């Protein structure tokens, strides 16, 4: 260890990498037997793990710009296809539906919100999906979140079907949409490309059958298989606490199956499956590959996007949950995009931010307006607060997502974040500040704003030196033998060479010595040798001013 420059005490811990470098020198082999989430999860799996795979329904995510008719489209699909009586009057909470299209034909649809704040949900949707349907309103055309949805689908490398909706509208222009889509390399089959464009009108069901045919066609090419005989695994679509039911998580089974009574871990939450509901709200005993299912019985609320695994035993489910918690705590120390008030100072200095985006949540609407008004009045030429969203209510996960997308922070007045929001904020490094006194809030912002001003730089004089002798030292160049007349000079100082009252050179200290030794600092009344970096033309009688540049806070 010493040879490798590692300073360590007898009782210190060493990391795996270091150990595996040292041990072979003593003819030992090192194995890492530390349990990771990955190895634990492998151990947790059970059932017929090697059973041959059978075909599973395609998972189709519907994405697009806000109000272009995604939900209407899904409604239309369910209305025309769900067996009569099943759909009647049941409120759908979840954004995932399994639609039966024939005897053995099923498709799982995932609805996503089109609002710009829900980037993460679109990203998540694209990542669990086999096919993406991009919905574009024929009378509106390609919009920002259409574009974003296309990017997500492309990033996930899934086939894209374009549903051109609202074809019943007077301004509808199918060809125009096809034209616009060419910009994103989505060229329709009629025009020599490979992308299917389906004209539909969710409002009257027109074109829906053809769209579903297309989905099936594309799905069949994908050869979608899964092994229903193994323990289930998949993704949490959403999760919340419901009155009288506890933690309710909507899961999408990607492989294997889940049964009531089994143990399960979802993200950092675990528990025993107490009951399950299918997408129609009916109780069910078993969920198969590609099924969306509501699960009751988790001890805490997992986060949307978390992975879930059915586990052999409760203890292993618990262990995985705890391991995740542990690993997360390790990473919390280095949040990736933290934008706390304090951090803003640093960020602005590097010129990244000139605007502080904030999401404001308040207990009553009037307060939000008042705070907004006051924030607008806090003046600064260089920076301002930008309220991206202001609403009444507790701080929720969607506020955190919004702040994350905006790269800003959240201010709560007389409101608190819920558990999911705190966790997500911690994970994504989003600052949540809560206040109950308005002026404290304003004061904090003002302070941060001062930090946000580009720092004022000031020269701070350190001292003066008189050059009394000149030496030429091999390898070091010209060294000025100096006497410090006042103040001091240090190794990191900046210097100004003054001859007859005129500055002849400005630069940095290249070397600083007392006799033969390097010195960090030399004070007044002492002699020293000073080398000026990249400068050799020093003369006896010159004066060296030593100084440094400091940042000063704005008054």
Residues 305 and 295: beta-carbon distance below 8 Å: no
In angstroms, give the least distance from the CB of 189 to ligand GTP. Answer: 22
Which residue among 202, 293, 425, 449 contacts ligand GTP (CB under 6 A)? 202
Cβ proximity to ligand GTP: between 80 and 331 the closer is 80
In angstroms, give the least distance from the CB of 70 to Mg ion. Answer: 5
Tell me the per-residue interface mask from 71 to 110 with Mg ion, x by CB under 5 A, - otherwise: x---------------------------------------
In angstroms, give the least distance from the CB of 377 to ligand GTP. Answer: 34
In angstroms, give the least distance from the CB of 255 to Mg ion. Answer: 28
CB neighbourhood size of 273 (10 A): 23
**Which listed option, ligand GTP, Mg ion, none, makes contact with residue 66 (CB within 5 to 8 Å by class)?**
ligand GTP
287-318: buried (b, 16+ CB within 10 Å) or exposed (e) per residue?
A: bbbbbbbbbbbbebbbbbbbbbbbbbeeebbb
Closest C-alpha to 333, from 431, 267, 422, 426: 426
Check residue 78 for interaction with ligand GTP (CB under 6 A). Answer: no
Residues 385 and 379: beta-carbon distance below 8 Å: no
3-state secondary structure of 409: strand
**Which listed option, ligand GTP, Mg ion, none, makes contact with residue 202 (CB within 5 to 8 Å by class)?**
ligand GTP
Check residue 168 for interaction with ligand GTP (CB under 6 A). Answer: yes
Total binding residues toward Mg ion, as defined by CB under 5 A: 2
Cβ proximity to ligand GTP: between 68 and 78 the closer is 68
- The 3-state secondary structure of 176-217, one letter per residue: HHHHHHHCCCCCEHHHCCCEEEEECECCCCECHHHHHHHHHH
Q: State the DSSP string of 253-314.
A: EEESBEETT-EEEETTEEEEEEEEE-TTS-EESEE-TT-EEEEEEESS---TT-EEEEESSH
Which residue among 66, 341, 494, 504 contacts ligand GTP (CB under 6 A)? 66
Which residue among 143, 201, 371, 403 contacts ligand GTP (CB under 6 A)? 201
Quick one: how far is CA 517 from the chain centroid?
51
In angstroms, give the least distance from the CB of 66 to ligand GTP. Answer: 4
CA dist 202 to 87, 195, 262, 370, 509, Å? 17, 20, 40, 42, 74
CA distance 78 to 60: 14
Which residue among 114, 125, 228, 267 contacts ligand GTP (CB under 6 A)? 114
Cβ proximity to ligand GTP: between 71 and 119 the closer is 71
Check residue 199 for interaction with ligand GTP (CB under 6 A). Answer: no
In angstroms, give the least distance from the CB of 145 to ligand GTP. Answer: 8
**Bridge pairing between strands 160-165 and 196-199:** parallel
Subset of residues 292 to 311 that bind Mg ion, contact rule: CB under 5 A: none
Q: Angle at Cα 256 formed by Cα 102 and Cα 253, nearest 5°?
A: 65
Please list, in sequence order, all residues whose beta carbon lies within 8 angstroms of the beta carbon of residue 515, skipping any fewer than 6 positions away: none
CA distance 230 to 53: 10
Check residue 69 for interaction with ligand GTP (CB under 6 A). Answer: yes
In angstroms, give the least distance from the CB of 97 to ligand GTP. Answer: 13
Tell me the per-residue interface mask from 8 to 47 with ligand GTP, x by CB under 6 A, - otherwise: ----------------------------------------
Subset of residues 403 to 462 that bind ligand GTP, contact rule: CB under 6 A: none
Residues that bind ligand GTP (CB under 6 A): 64, 66-72, 113-115, 165-166, 168-169, 201-203
Residues that bind Mg ion (CB under 5 A): 70-71
């Amino acid at each position: 260890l010493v040879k490798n420059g590692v300073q360590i005490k007898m009782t210190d811990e060493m990391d795996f990498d270091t150990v595996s470098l040292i041990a072979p020198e003593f003819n030992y082999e090192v194995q890492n037997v530390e349990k990771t989430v990955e190895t634990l999860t492998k151990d947790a799996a059970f059932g017929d793990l090697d059973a041959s795979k059978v075909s599973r329904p395609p998972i189709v995510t519907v994405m697009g710009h806000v109000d272009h008719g995604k939900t209407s489209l899904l409604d239309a699909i369910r209305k025309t296809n769900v067996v009569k009586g099943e759909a009647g009057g049941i409120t759908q909470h979840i954004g995932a539906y399994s639609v039966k299209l024939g005897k053995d034909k099923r498709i799982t649809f995932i609805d996503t919100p089109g609002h710009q704040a829900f980037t993460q949900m679109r990203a998540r949707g694209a990542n669990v999906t086999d096919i993406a349907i991009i919905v574009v309103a024929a009378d509106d055309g390609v919009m920002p979140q259409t574009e974003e949805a296309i990017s997500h689908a492309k990033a996930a490398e899934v086939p894209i079907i374009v549903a051109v909706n609202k074809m019943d509208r007077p301004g509808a222009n199918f060809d125009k949409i096809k034209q616009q889509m060419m910009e994103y390399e989505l060229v329709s089959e009629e025009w020599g490309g490979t992308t299917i464009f389906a004209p539909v009108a969710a409002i009257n069901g027109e074109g829906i059958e053809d769209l579903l045919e297309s989905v099936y066609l594309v799905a069949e090419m994908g050869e979608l298989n899964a092994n229903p005989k193994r323990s289930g695994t998949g993704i949490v679509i959403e999760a919340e606490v419901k009155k009288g039911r506890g933690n309710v998580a909507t899961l999408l089974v990607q492989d294997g199956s889940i049964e009531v009574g089994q143990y399960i871990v979802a993200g950092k939450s675990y528990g025993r499956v107490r009951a399950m509901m299918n997408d129609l709200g009916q109780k069910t005993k078993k969920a198969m590959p590609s099924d969306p299912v509501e699960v009751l019985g988790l001890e805490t609320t997992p986060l949307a996007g978390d992975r879930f695994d059915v586990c052999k035993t409760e203890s292993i489910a618990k262990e995985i949950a705890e391991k995740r918690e542990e690993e997360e705590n390790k990473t919390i120390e280095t949040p990736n995009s933290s934008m706390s008030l304090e951090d803003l100072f640093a960020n602005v200095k590097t010129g990244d931010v000139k605007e502080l985006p904030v999401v404001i949540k308040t207990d009553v609407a009037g307060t939000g307006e008042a705070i907004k008004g006051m924030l607008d009045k806090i003046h600064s030429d260089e920076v301002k607060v930008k309220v991206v969203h202001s609403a009444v209510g507790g701080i929720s996960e969607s506020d955190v997502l919004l702040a994350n997308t905006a790269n800003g922070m959240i201010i709560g007045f007389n409101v608190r974040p819920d558990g999911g929001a705190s966790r997500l904020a911690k994970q994504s490094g989003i600052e949540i500040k809560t206040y109950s006194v308005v002026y404290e809030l304003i004061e904090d912002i003002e302070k941060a704003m001062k930090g946000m001003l580009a720092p004022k730089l000031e020269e701070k004089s350190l001292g003066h030196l008189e050059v009394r002798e000149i030496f030429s030292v091999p390898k070091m160049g010209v060294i000025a033998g100096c006497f410090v007349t006042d103040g001091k000079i240090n190794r990191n100082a900046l210097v100004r060479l003054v001859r007859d009252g005129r500055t002849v050179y400005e630069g940095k200290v290249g070397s600083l010595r007392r006799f033969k030794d390097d010195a960090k600092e030399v004070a007044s009344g002492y002699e020293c040798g000073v080398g000026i970096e990249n400068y050799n033309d020093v003369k006896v009688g010159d004066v060296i001013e030593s100084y440094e540049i400091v940042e000063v806070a704005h008054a």
